[in-house]
Amino acid sequence: MSLLSKKYSLLCVVLFILFSGVNISCNAYFESKKKPESDNLSQEVRELLNVSTSSVEGNLHFKKNIGDIESDLQVLLQIPKNQITRYCQVLKETGAHGKISRMEVKISPPYPDKMSVEVHILPRGGINYAEYPVKIEGKVIQDEKLIGTFKTVLTGAVGGDIIPVPTEAMFPMRFEFHLWDSVPSESFSTLIYTQSKLSLYPPFTDPKKIMEGDKSLTPLEETEMLGNPLRITLLKGEEVK
């Protein structure tokens, strides 16, 4: 073998050893870099790295605010069905999200000797109120005069027109208020509506403490909401067609 060939072979061996060493060093360096323990990471970093933890999994659903609550709820004012007779004509107008925006009841003679209105708290099913407890404090106003109040706390995922059978673990979802207890002597028209205060509390707050007015609790957000107006008109004999 010529001297040139020997030098070339030696150079190849040296280069092989050098590159192998660099490769081994690089591999050793990256292998020594362990993945960070998720328990030691901040919440912000865990979310950026998409680390699967229970706290992150709980954020799969969008956080709710008082605006979501207001959109989900309807405080419905109406006449009880057992008081609607063949002499009653009920007119309803529907607004956003299928909510009743206005209601009118026209009653022809003979007038009923008793009449009430009822308030129904109707969640539409978009909020889990077990997680987002809400207190509702409402007023029933007739011709600008206060005729009654109501209060409850929403604590479950109840939606639609399904009103649950009350149990000891539930708070009332229906309230009734008397308008008159004797036959009216003449025709008239009256306008009734509700005005409610909604208070959203921190997730999973004890609903009993909310209902009892525990002074240590502070709502996260509050808003006012008007219910559908209900007009009741007693028609005169000549007005009936």
Exposed e or buried b for every residue in 159-196, given b needs 16+ CB within 10 A?
eeeeeeeeeeebbebebebebeeeeeeeeeeeebbbeb
Instruction: Name the band, by pLDDT with cuts 50, 70 and 90, for residue 97.
Output: confident
Instruction: Give the chain's domain count.
Output: 1
Tell me, yes or no, whether 102 lies in a domain: yes
Range of 156's domain?
Answer: 66-239
Tell me, yes or no, whether 23 lies in a domain: no
Quote the pTM value: 0.68
Tell me, yes or no, whether 51 lies in a domain: no
Query: Which of the residue ranges 17-26, 27-36, 102-111, 195-204 would you say has the lowest mean pLDDT?
Result: 27-36
Query: Mind listing the pLDDT tens digit for each residue in 146-171?
Result: 999 999 999 864 444 444 444 445 68
Tell me, yes or no, whether 169 lies in a domain: yes
Tell me if 217 sits within 8 A of 205, measured CB to CB: yes
Contacts (Cβ under 8 Å, ≥6 apart) of 74: 99, 100, 120, 122, 124, 227, 228
For residue 189, give the CATH number of its domain.
2.60.40
Tell me, yes or no, whether 198 lies in a domain: yes
Tell me, yes or no, whether 48 lies in a domain: no
Tell me, yes or no, whether 187 lies in a domain: yes
Tell me, yes or no, whether 33 lies in a domain: no
Query: Mind listing the pLDDT tens digit for each residue in 192-219?
Result: 999 999 999 999 999 999 999 999 999 9
